[in-house]
Amino acid sequence: MSTPLPSIYPFIHYADPEAALRFLKQAFGCEERVVYRKPDGAIAHVELTLGHGLVMFGGAEGGRLKMAASRQVPVKNQGIYVVVTDPDALYARAKAAGASIAMELHDTDYGSRDFSALDPEGNVWSFGTYQPLAAPKG
């Protein structure tokens, strides 16, 4: 029996998608799945993987992921959570790459080891050992 493909894929718009691509690869170890470019060479759409997850992004001006609110000031009350097996090593990598740590590495009361960091445009990336789909419902 094969595992079904996910049906939810987070996406982000960046004012400087080239800088975001470099940072996410260097600081968090994301790997390029695909990078689509416009005729002028600018990034139109990126898909990065990290473990079994995938995140998509593009430039703030739109492209394949154009949002109706793209002309509005972004609201920074959302984030991305990534399940990792070694948060200590990733924390050290992120700090070495100059990531701004929003929440220091710590153990939670629900058994996870977590930390959060900001990307260059202020989006929150949280990493931890808690696996939501493995936890009991309720």
Residues 124 and 75 sit within 8 Å (Cβ to Cβ): no
Q: What is the structure's pLDDT at 75?
A: 53
What does the mean pLDDT of the chain come to? Answer: 87
pTM of this prediction? 0.84
Q: Which long-range contacts (CB under 8 A, 24 or more apart) does 58-63 make?
A: 58/11, 58/13, 58/14, 58/17, 59/13, 59/14, 59/15, 59/17, 60/13, 60/14, 60/15, 63/38
Q: What is the structure's pLDDT at 116?
A: 96
The span from the CA of 8 to the CA of 122, in Å, is 22
Q: What is the structure's pLDDT at 74?
A: 52
Residue 64 pLDDT greater than 50, yes or no: no
pLDDT bracket for residue 4 (50, 70, 90): confident
Residues 76 and 13 sit within 8 Å (Cβ to Cβ): no
- Provide the 10 A C-beta neighbour count for residue 130: 16
Helices (H) and strands (E) in the chain, counts: 2, 8
110-119 tens-digit pLDDT: 899 999 999 9
**Which residue is associated with the tokens 């993987």?**
49
Across 15-42, average pLDDT: 96
Residue 36 pLDDT greater than 90, yes or no: yes
Residue 30 pLDDT greater than 60, yes or no: yes
What radius of gyration do the chain's Cα atoms show? 16
Across 32-61, average pLDDT: 92
Q: What is the structure's pLDDT at 90?
A: 98
> CB neighbours of 81 closer than 8 A, spacing ≥ 6?
126, 127, 128, 132
Q: What is the structure's pLDDT at 69?
A: 41
Across 9-17, average pLDDT: 91
